[in-house]
Amino acid sequence: MSDTARAADAAPRPVTGPRVARLARQLETARDSAARDALTEAFWGGVTRTGTPLVEALDDAPGHRAVTFLWRGHRATRQVLLMATGIGDRDRPADTLLHHLPGTDVWYLGYRLRADHRGSYRLVADISPGPAPADPALLQRRLVALTAHGVADPLNPRRLPVRRRAVESSVFALPEAPPQPWAGRRAGIRRGAVERHTV
């Protein structure tokens, strides 16, 4: 495989993961709003048990996984932005806006990633009054301003401190990501201490 083909193979590609696609189909055939609410609650119940992002196999790409980032919105949520290392372009934040599943509180964005991918990310919900700007330049400005308020994924317990800021990022590793034995605690090794000194 050439370097160009290898790079193209590793590039994140938008995809709708199987669980979100299944939920969307079920919602389309639900008989009423109570049935749609029950389906949505069952979906979130499953997500709470498994954690996020959702990582699912792809039949047509065995060396890759569908990775779906989720946010549980509410009535005031206008849009949700994903800020992920190696995914999307910092200069084009609108490309990593989550999609809203109509009639639900489910916001999602899926990517096809190589099965050895490891990364960190933060999310931020825009709850500004009024709709999101239709003008691309104004939307860009709003999204850039939002990035300062990014938070760790509340449904992902795996966290990483962010340098020079009092926030955390969420982390995830796909099944074939190289091991990092130095990153976890080891039995028999004493814990260190952190002290702060002002000079």
Residue 44, exposed/middle/buried by CB under 10 A (0-12, 13-18, 19+)?
Answer: middle
76 in a domain, yes or no? yes
Residue ranges in the chain modelled with pLDDT below 50 = none
> What is the domain extent for residue 11?
3-176
pLDDT in tens, 113-169: 999 999 999 999 999 888 888 899 999 999 998 988 999 999 999 998 877 667 899
Q: pTM (2 decimals)?
A: 0.86
199 in a domain, yes or no? no
pLDDT value for 115: 95
Q: Which residues pair with 120 in a beta bridge?
A: 171
| Rounded-to-integer distance, Cα 56 and Cα 139, Å | 32
7 in a domain, yes or no? yes
189 in a domain, yes or no? no
CATH assignment at residue 102 = 2.60.40.10
187 in a domain, yes or no? no
26 in a domain, yes or no? yes
47 in a domain, yes or no? yes
pLDDT value for 186: 75
- The chain-wide mean pLDDT, for the chain, equals 89
Q: Indicate the number of domains in the chain.
A: 1
Between helix 18-29 and helix 33-50 the angle, nearest 10°, is 160
